[in-house]
């Protein structure tokens, strides 16, 4: 009688499962490619800033964020950082900071150039706009990005350390 309620343990073939995971991975790439093609098509047809690209952006960004969150909480992210630091001269922590600063500078320069080209009437005004907007952009984006990427790094580290502590107990 109890046998009805006991679920029979599913027999899984690890090779089949591995191959299936490989197919899932490829499937994700296919989906991303379709998204990209669709985004480019819409960009060509409707132009930038028409709000037609939201769905594609959500699909791409949400997929990336899901991977990031899962890899952090399963500890794989930190594993990769540790393996990277084993062989690389520049540790990942420094690379994260440099990368974040570089990204903030790129965004700031882009904003500065954009406002100088779009709104300035003379070249001296253009330079002034560029300097002003770039400076303000750095002030805004650098702390936000540092908080975001630094937060990811520290959270991953915390979880990674916790995992290795658990292993020591065993």
What SS3 string covers the chain?
CHHHHCCCCCCCCHHHHHHHHHHHHHHHHHHHHHHHHHHHHHHHHHCCCCCCCHHHHHHHHHHHHHHHHHHHHCCHHHHHHHHHHHHCCCCHHHHHHHHHHHHHHHHHHHHHHHHHHHHCCCHHHHHHHHHHHHHHHHHHHHHHHHHHHHHHHHHHHHHHHHHHHHHHHC
Q: What is the CA radius of gyration of the chain?
A: 24
Contact 100/150 with Cβ under 8 angstroms? yes
Among 3, 5, 13, 48, binds other proteins (CB under 8 A): 13
Per CB under 8 A, which region of 10-18, 93-101, 106-114, 161-169 contacts other proteins? 10-18
Q: How far is the CB of 166 from other proteins (least distance, A)?
A: 21
Among 7, 15, 86, 169, binds other proteins (CB under 8 A): 15
Q: How far is the CB of 11 from other proteins (least distance, A)?
A: 4
Per CB under 8 A, which region of 9-17, 73-81, 142-150, 157-165 contacts other proteins? 9-17
Q: How far is the CB of 12 from other proteins (least distance, A)?
A: 8
Query: Does residue 7 interact with other proteins by CB under 8 A?
Result: no
CA pair distance 128, 153, nearest whole angstrom: 36
Per CB under 8 A, which region of 12-20, 23-31, 80-88, 154-162 contacts other proteins? 12-20
CA pair distance 64, 40, nearest whole angstrom: 19
**x/- track of binding to other proteins for residues 79-118 (CB under 8 A):** ----------------------------------------
Per CB under 8 A, which region of 11-19, 83-91, 94-102, 161-169 contacts other proteins? 11-19
Residues binding other proteins (CB under 8 A): 11, 13-16
């Amino acid at each position: 009688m109890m046998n009805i309620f006991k679920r029979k343990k599913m027999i899984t073939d690890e090779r089949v499962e591995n191959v299936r995971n490989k197919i899932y991975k490829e499937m994700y790439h296919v989906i991303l490619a379709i998204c990209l093609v669709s985004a480019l098509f819409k960009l060509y047809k409707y132009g930038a800033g028409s709000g037609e690209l939201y769905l594609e952006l959500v699909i791409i960004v949400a997929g990336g964020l899901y991977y990031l969150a899962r890899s952090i909480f399963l500890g794989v992210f930190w594993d990769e950082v540790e393996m990277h630091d084993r062989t690389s001269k520049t540790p990942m922590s420094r690379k994260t900071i440099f990368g974040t600063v570089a990204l903030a500078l790129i965004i700031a320069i882009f904003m500065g150039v954009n406002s100088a080209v779009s709104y300035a009437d003379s070249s001296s005004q253009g330079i002034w706009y560029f300097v002003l907007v770039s400076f303000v952009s750095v002030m805004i984006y650098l702390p936000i990005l540092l908080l975001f990427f630094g937060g990811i790094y520290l959270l991953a580290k915390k979880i990674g350390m916790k995992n290795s502590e658990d292993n020591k107990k065993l």
